[in-house]
Every structure is written in C-alpha cells, then in structure tokens.
Amino acid sequence: MLKNFLPNEHVQSVFEIRPSELKDKGIKGVITDLDNTLVAWDQKDATPEIVQWFKLMQDHGIQITIVSNNNEERVKLFSTPLDIPFIYSARKPLGKAFRQAKRQMNMKDEELVVVGDQLLTDVLGGNRSNLHTILVVPIVKTDGFFTKFNRLVERRILNWMKRKGKISWEDQ
C-alpha cells in the first residue's frame, strides 16, 4: 500500500523538469498541480519563470493540463491568461480528474507524467492511475488549512520510506 506514495522521481522544482528529458522517456503531456507546485498557494498569478517554463514545454510539443483540488475561481484566474487547460475541484487522489485530463489530452498512460508537491494527492492519485509521478519540493513552507493535515501524514510516510531505504533525497 505504501508503495503507492512513492514517486517515480523527486526534484527541487518544476524548472528541473526539462522537455528533452520528458521526450526521451516518450512523455508528451504533463498533468500538473497548481498550488505550491507552480506558484505559492496564496499567489494569484503566474511568475515570469513559470510562463517561460510553460512556453518551453509547448515549444517542444509537450501539452500541459493543470489539475487542482482548488476551486474554479482560483484555478481559472491562474490558467486562463496563460491559455492552459485546467480541471478544478479535482478531488485528488481520486482518479476521475486524471482520467479526464488524459482524455482531454488524447494520450495514453505511458505518454503522461503527473507533477505535484503532495504525496497524498498528486503522487498517490498519479500512481493509482498508472502514471509516472514527479514529486516537487513545495514552493513555500506555509499551506492552506486542509494541506496542513496532509503534510503531517506525509512527513510520517516520508520518514518510513527513508528508514526502509526507499528514498534517498534530503528533506527540504
């Protein structure tokens, strides 16, 4: 059961995810979380660096869909100016939003990667959907109300994985 919480990869930020490396793995699409993955959870707009990262991905033919548990207003305000497709109120880790993104992107499981900052939502949901998962270090150490609880559980899972030798990266 705990193996479902183990990401395929771990990076410091989305900026370490490069289109050439994705394409080498046959990846054509990225399903990404929004809050604390792309920008701080309380930041409304995309940073210039995130805009550039989206452009870099698109220039290399990598499609992106934002899948967030946040509400429509939050996700729409961020995504619409960038012309990035999105799914809000996703209820991750449930699989419905991942299947919806896969259909919208018209891709197979092996052509997609899930990127996010939480084990309990992004990694678990991606793994249960048979997708490649990349865990990023949260952008800020503060979280919204519900995420604070998830982080407590997540810390216990990460500590267990570290003791068992399942992960080797350092805590951030």
Question: Percent helix, strand, coil in the chain (nearest 5)?
Answer: 45, 15, 40
Our count of domains for the chain comes to: 1
- Domain for residue 76, yes or no? yes
- In this predicted structure, what is the pLDDT of residue 17? 98
- Domain for residue 93, yes or no? yes
Q: For each of the chain's 172 residues, which pLDDT tens digit applies? A: 678 889 999 999 999 999 999 999 999 999 999 999 999 988 899 999 999 999 999 999 999 999 999 999 999 999 999 999 999 999 999 999 999 999 999 999 999 999 999 999 999 999 999 999 999 998 877 666 666 677 777 788 877 777 877 777 655 4
- Domain for residue 135, yes or no? yes
**Six-digit token pair at 50?**
């995130």
Range of the structural domain that residue 62 is part of:
2-163
Domain harbouring 16, CATH code: 3.40.50.1000
- Domain for residue 169, yes or no? no
Distance CA 172, CA 152 (A): 15
- Domain for residue 170, yes or no? no
**Six-digit token pair at 155?**
């810390």
Q: What is the model's pTM?
A: 0.88
- Domain for residue 168, yes or no? no
- In this predicted structure, what is the pLDDT of residue 172? 43
DSSP state of 121: I
Q: Which amino acid is at 109?
A: D
Distance CA 139, CA 117 (A): 8
- Domain for residue 172, yes or no? no
Phi, psi values for residue 112, rounded to 5°: -120, 150
Could you report how far apart the first and last alpha carbons of the chain are, in Å? 25
